Amino acid sequence: MKSSSQNPTLLVVVALFVMVSVSWAAVGDTLSVGSSSGLPGTSGHIIPINLRNVTPIKALLFKVKDVPDSLTVTGVVGTSRASGYRAEMTAVGGTVKILMFPTDGTTPMIAAGTGTIANLTVSVDAAAPGGSKATLSLDSVRVAGLTNQAVTVYTKNGFFWYGTKGDVKFDGSINLFDVLRLIDIALNRAPTPSEYERWAGDLNSDKVIDVVDISLAIDLAVAATPRMADDHETEASGSAELLIPSLPSNFKGEVAVPMTVKSDVPVSGLQFSFKLDSRRFMIAQPRMTDLSKNMSVAIHAKGDQVTVLLYSLTGEPLPAGEGTVLQLPVTIAEPLGAPEKLDITSALAGTMGGSKIQALYGQSTTTITTAPGSFALMQNTPNPFNMSTRITYEVPSLQKGGADVRLIIYNAQGQVVRTLEDLRRAPGRYTVNWDGRDDAGSYVSSGVYFYKMTADNVVLTKKLAVTK
């Protein structure tokens, strides 16, 4: 630190400094360390020094102590609120001593107000204890007022978190597992969140983890650079395989690309990214299927990279087994000379409790059916069935685009049993699964049932059988 022996005004100020050893109070002039964060092995993080003062301040001398070995203070810079002030520091062990004083008589004070007067710059050691925090406290505070009188200033400690907001699971990335864990915390599901999880999950800093934080985490997860799974990361028993087909050739317009999942355990959430040439193709909001109707989906497209996040806000997972969980509407600008392969570049899968399971991905052998020549309703398969059956229908290309489609199951008395579809469909072939339950969620009894498709002025009906 440079000597101040050539500054008479500063000598008077320093001579009148008095040590203040009082704790935080709700009122009064207060100097505080602002909370900050950073990942181990990174640098350039800012720790603000904040001042709330009613009394005009002429100079300050204070210590930031209890700085752990994992944090290295590399500099201090005054802010615009302390314009015309110079900040000098000396670091010894876990204590940083800071002196702030005016450089000349044209800026005689820090005016009354609230805000940051200086920023400490720190680097974080690679061996820092991730997912924890360090307390940064103030000590030996000496303050001079405008007339060089001693000013009593209270102090308030701050914290430096070894992590980042949104990375609740502390795995170096904001992804599916952070979203699933936030949902658990918001719904008060076990286990009880740690102090770090509560800090990292409170994205809007309102001291509560709720749907706003979940929504913010979803936005961060789908917009983040996809992270490949680490072979050394612990996974729960089980796996999920994601399969996506190629885009069809000789077709122009929108096709529904089915995303199929094969899993041997229930799946609470999926996140996957794939490449799609944005110059030739456009993707819209994914459509849910009967399997995923109780789930939610988010999508983010940046350049040729598309990221999709499928998650359950209710805690009800996708059942183990195989089925189509999403329809991805892709518009093909010009007919392709050959089928276009869609490459999945990364995938994550979680089961109940947000536990990670092995995520596999590859190419589906499913052929995407382009716009049919007319409306069609196929016979369900299998038929008769016990636990689940598939019903396929087709929507042709119409002058107005798509069609409003209703697909309803009726009993032999003509009473509505289950509404499977009631939405607008683009031209294409669609498959819906029926699990044998009615609209109330109860399994139907054995017998003969009918399913009717209504689209525009077309009505198509077929018969099926349920066996128990």
Q: Per the domain annotation, does 167 fall within a domain?
A: no
What's the pLDDT at 465? 95
Q: Per the domain annotation, does 171 fall within a domain?
A: no
Asked if residue 34 and residue 142 are part of one domain, the reply reads yes
Total residues belonging to the chain: 468
Asked if residue 396 and residue 291 are part of one domain, the reply reads no
Q: Per the domain annotation, does 229 fall within a domain?
A: no
Is the pLDDT at 334 greater than 90, yes or no? no
CATH of the domain at 107: 2.60.40.680
Give the end of a domain, one of 299, 331, 363.
Answer: 363
Q: Per the domain annotation, does 170 fall within a domain?
A: no
Is the pLDDT at 323 greater than 80, yes or no? yes
CA distance 270 to 349: 5
Q: Per the domain annotation, does 234 fall within a domain?
A: no
CA distance 112 to 56: 5
What's the pLDDT at 369? 66
Q: Span 379-397, mean pLDDT? A: 91
Is the pLDDT at 201 greater than 70, yes or no? yes
Question: How would you classify the pairing of strands 269-275 and 344-350?
Answer: antiparallel
Asked if residue 150 and residue 15 are part of one domain, the reply reads yes
* Least confident piece of the model among 28-37, 359-368, 371-380, 397-406: 397-406
CA distance 443 to 449: 13
Q: Per the domain annotation, does 260 fall within a domain?
A: yes
* Least confident piece of the model among 172-176, 304-308, 371-375, 429-433: 371-375
Q: What 3-state class would DSSP assign to 80? A: helix
* CA-angle at 49, arms to 45 and 51, nearest 5°: 155
Copy the structure tokens of residue 270.
Answer: 């999926």
Task: Give the distance, in angstroms, between the CA of residue 338 and the centroid of all CA atoms in the same chain.
Answer: 37
What's the pLDDT at 27? 56
For residue 244, what pLDDT band results from cuts at 50, 70 and 90? very high
Asked if residue 24 and residue 129 are part of one domain, the reply reads yes
Q: Span 259-280, mean pLDDT? A: 94
Asked if residue 98 and residue 19 are part of one domain, the reply reads yes
What's the pLDDT at 10? 37
Is the pLDDT at 12 greater than 50, yes or no? no
CA distance 393 to 298: 26
Is the pLDDT at 248 greater than 50, yes or no? yes
pLDDT: which is higher, 233 or 162: 162
Alpha-carbon distance values, 424 to 5, 64, 146, 292 (Å): 81, 63, 72, 18
Task: Give the distance, in angstroms, between the CA of residue 96 and the centroid of all CA atoms in the same chain.
Answer: 36
Asked if residue 155 and residue 16 are part of one domain, the reply reads yes
Is the pLDDT at 202 greater than 90, yes or no? yes
* CB 121 within 8 Å of CB 73: yes
pLDDT: which is higher, 245 or 8: 245
Give the end of a domain, one of 128, 161, 194.
Answer: 161
Asked if residue 401 and residue 324 are part of one domain, the reply reads no
Asked if residue 335 and residue 251 are part of one domain, the reply reads yes
Of residues 81, 79, 80, 78, the one with CA closest to residue 89: 78
For residue 335, what pLDDT band results from cuts at 50, 70 and 90? confident
CA distance 22 to 139: 10
Q: Span 226-230, mean pLDDT? A: 52
Asked if residue 138 and residue 42 are part of one domain, the reply reads yes
The total number of structural domains in the chain stands at 4
Which DSSP helix (H) or strand (E) runs through 186?
helix 176-186
Q: Span 418-445, mean pLDDT? A: 91
Give the domain range for residue 202.
176-223
Asked if residue 251 and residue 206 are part of one domain, the reply reads no
For residue 399, what pLDDT band results from cuts at 50, 70 and 90? low
DSSP character for 95? Answer: E
Q: Give the count of beta carbons closer than 10 Å to the beta carbon of residue 83.
A: 11
pTM, two decimal places: 0.66
Q: Span 70-94, mean pLDDT? A: 93
CA distance 86 to 466: 83
pLDDT tens figures, 346-374: 999 998 777 899 999 998 887 776 667 78
* CB 34 within 8 Å of CB 116: yes
Q: Span 208-214, mean pLDDT? A: 92
Q: Per the domain annotation, does 196 fall within a domain?
A: yes
For residue 15, what pLDDT band results from cuts at 50, 70 and 90? very low
Hey, which residues does 197 pair with through a beta bridge? none
CA distance 388 to 377: 18
Is the pLDDT at 315 greater than 80, yes or no? no
* Whole-number average pLDDT of the chain: 87
Give the end of a domain, one of 332, 363, 394.
Answer: 363
Is the pLDDT at 186 greater than 50, yes or no? yes
Place of tokens 């101040």: 4
What's the pLDDT at 398? 74
Asked if residue 17 and residue 152 are part of one domain, the reply reads yes
Is the pLDDT at 14 greater than 50, yes or no? no
For residue 281, what pLDDT band results from cuts at 50, 70 and 90? very high
* CB 180 within 8 Å of CB 354: yes
Q: Per the domain annotation, does 423 fall within a domain?
A: yes
Is the pLDDT at 26 greater than 50, yes or no? no
What's the pLDDT at 125? 96
Asked if residue 140 and residue 90 are part of one domain, the reply reads yes
* Least confident piece of the model among 5-19, 238-252, 395-409, 452-466: 5-19
* CA-angle at 285, arms to 280 and 286, nearest 5°: 100
Q: What 3-state class would DSSP assign to 373? A: coil
* Least confident piece of the model among 114-118, 132-136, 400-404, 420-424: 400-404
